[in-house]
């Protein structure tokens, strides 16, 4: 049996329309928490966390990514 993982044709994860807004908001909050922890430790990886936070925020607001009907 073949594995039908992420993006694996019509049975892949993208066939359901992508991640929900709730999931994107949860990811944005999680990325912000990790970014704050990294910044507190003065890690240069905090910049990467900030980029991830911005990405999930833009996706959740519908400003980035494929157009959504709802």
CA–CA dist 67, 57 (Å, integer): 15
Q: Is the pLDDT of residue 8 over 60?
A: no
The answer to whether residue 9 scores a pLDDT higher than 80 is: no
pLDDT at 70: 52
Instruction: Kindly report, residue by residue over 10-59, the tens digit of the pLDDT.
Output: 555 555 667 889 999 999 999 999 999 999 999 999 999 999 999 999 99
What Å distances lie between residue 8 and 12, 13, 51, 56, CA to CA? 4, 7, 27, 23
Q: State the Cα–Cα distance between residues 16 and 34, nearest whole angstrom.
A: 28
Residue 1: the pLDDT is 45
């Amino acid at each position: 049996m073949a594995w039908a993982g992420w993006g694996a044709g019509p049975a892949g994860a993208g066939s359901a329309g992508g991640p929900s807004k709730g999931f994107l908001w949860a990811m944005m909050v999680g990325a912000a928490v990790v970014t704050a922890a990294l910044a507190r430790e003065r890690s240069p990886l905090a910049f990467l966390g900030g980029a991830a936070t911005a990405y999930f925020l833009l996706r959740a607001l519908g400003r980035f990514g494929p157009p959504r009907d709802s």
